[in-house]
């Protein structure tokens, strides 16, 4: 049997001719992911919820790269919209090759203080919406023999926060769902992986950076890197999983958290080249 012909970098990492849908993509991590997929050559559907102005900026950035883009204002938590969202993305850009599930909802409360409505809201956004989107995309990806699915998890599935018990449990369930489906679709050219960010500098935590906030101290304490991450750093990990060359990587979870998933002191002691 002849040895396979080596592929070049652009073939291994390029998404030219491919189409992606990124949920929750008007700002922060989702916007960074949409932009990097476009830089890889993909046309991108930018899902958002009531954030048209920010979504238009992301679309304009993608189009400036010579790629096609469309903004789709859809609440993925609604049980009747997943199929319609996928259909709208495909009508505008063509069959979907890449799905990145980034839209999420977290509600801070201890378990005993969490009301039923808040549990339901998080279940719908953080788990059921993913199931519906996967049902709307995976069969067609498998039929075409190519697909990349990346779900966005969280450091709290590994390092729990007392006021996010439901959110953390759902992110862990997310990962289990991805692993189960990865087994089913591995031989059909479709990979499913999970990326779990730690503390990332986004608008969601902008209140900590306001005057009088505790951002600097909080960021130093949240990882062994003694800093927060940036959206582009999460997007880079997602890009790796989406690349054609990552076809033998599936069912994985990758922390982008500055080592926060590793147990140990984070006060700076025990670090440094002289240790």
pLDDT of 215 reads: 82
pLDDT tens track for 145-197? 999 999 999 999 888 889 999 999 999 998 999 999 999 999 999 999 999 99
pLDDT of 152 reads: 97
Q: Give the alpha-carbon dihedral of 157, 246, 14, 234, to 10 degrees.
A: 20
Would the pLDDT of 106 be above 60? yes
Q: Are 259 and 225 in contact (CB under 8 A)?
A: yes
Task: Report the distance separating Cα 252 and Cα 191, nearest Å.
Answer: 10
pLDDT band at 273 (very low <50, low <70, confident <90, very high): very low
pLDDT tens track for 247-271? 999 999 999 999 999 987 766 544 4
- Give residue 199's region: left, alpha or beta (phi > 0; psi -120 to 50): beta
Q: Name the β-bridge partners of 195.
A: 152, 254
Domain at 16-256: CATH code: 3.40.50.720
Residues annotated as part of the active site = 167
Longest Cα–Cα distance in the chain: 67
What are the extents of the domains in the chain?
16-256
Global confidence as pTM? 0.92
Cβ burial of 29 (10 Å; 0-12, 13-18, 19+) is buried
pLDDT of 207 reads: 74
pLDDT of 274 reads: 40
């Amino acid at each position: 049997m002849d040895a396979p012909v080596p592929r070049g970098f652009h073939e291994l990492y390029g998404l030219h001719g491919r189409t992606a849908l990124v949920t929750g993509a008007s700002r922060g991590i989702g916007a960074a992911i949409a932009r990097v997929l476009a830089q890889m050559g993909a046309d991108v559907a930018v899902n958002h919820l009531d954030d048209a102005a920010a979504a238009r900026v992301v679309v304009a950035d993608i189009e400036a790269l010579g790629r096609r883009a469309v903004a789709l204002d859809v609440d993925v938590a609604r049980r009747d919209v997943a199929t319609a969202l996928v259909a709208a993305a495909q009508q505008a850009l063509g069959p979907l090759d890449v799905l990145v599930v980034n839209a999420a909802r977290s509600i801070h409360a201890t378990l005993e203080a969490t009301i039923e409505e808040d549990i339901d809201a998080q279940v719908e956004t953080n788990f059921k919406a993913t199931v519906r989107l996967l049902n709307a995309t995976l069969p067609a990806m498998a039929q075409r023999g190519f697909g990349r699915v990346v779900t966005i998890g969280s450091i709290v599935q590994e390092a729990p926060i007392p006021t996010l018990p439901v959110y953390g449990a759902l992110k862990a369930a997310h990962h289990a769902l991805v692993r189960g489906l990865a087994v089913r679709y591995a031989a059909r050219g479709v990979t499913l992986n999970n990326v779990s960010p730690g503390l990332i500098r986004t608008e969601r935590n902008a209140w900590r950076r306001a005057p009088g906030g505790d951002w600097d101290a909080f960021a130093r304490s949240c990882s062994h890197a003694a800093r927060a991450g940036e959206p582009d750093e999460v997007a880079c990990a997602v890009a790796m999983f989406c690349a054609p060359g990552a076809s033998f990587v599936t069912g994985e979870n990758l922390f982008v958290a500055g080592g926060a998933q590793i147990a140990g002191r984070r006060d700076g002691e025990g670090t440094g080249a002289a240790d």
